[in-house]
Amino acid sequence: MTAAPSPTTGGGSACVDDPCITENRLACYVPALRDCDDMFRRRIVLHGFGTVWRDANNTERAVLAAEEPERFDPRWDAFLAAYIEHFCRCDGLEAPGWTRRPRRYLQHMWWSPGYFDFERGRVIVTTPPAFYAHGVWIADSDLLVV
């Protein structure tokens, strides 16, 4: 059984014993992300983890996000924090504290992989606030899981 902060108060504990949730915590994705190029990393996070997040309830989402992923690349450290912060905000959850740690912010803006130069205007206009705050450009439409 995995304990995580309560999704509503940040205290107490919410227990989830579903292996689909406990084995797909964001922190569990880092070994796979470490061995990939940027395009495949983006695919793993947006589709792999995104699908689990989409299908989870808020108690399960708190478990998915609670554990801080090991840092492995400053760009992706910021991306993962922004990703969790964005989806927690969208789902009415408080983002875990690790998303606000200084090493989870970039000093210069970084373009999430996969954009052509002509797409940059659209990306700048549609980047969600959490990603902008962490220094990552990504179009909001790329965060949709279908």
For the chain, 146 residues long, give each residue's pLDDT as a single digit of tens: 333 443 333 443 456 778 889 899 999 999 999 999 999 999 999 999 999 999 999 999 999 999 999 999 999 999 999 999 999 999 999 999 999 999 999 999 999 998 999 999 999 999 999 999 999 999 999 999 86
Q: Where are the domains of the chain?
A: 2-143
Q: Which residues of 49-58 are buried (b: 16+ CB within 10 A; e: fewer)?
A: bbebbeebee
Q: What is the pTM of this model?
A: 0.86
**Cα separation, 117 vs 131, whole angstroms:** 19
Query: Would the CA dihedral through 97, 68, 146, 120 be positive or negative?
Result: positive
What are the backbone angles phi and psi of residue 136, rounded to the nearest 5°? -120, 125
Task: Please count the other Cβ atoms lying within 10 Å of the Cβ belonging to residue 100.
Answer: 13
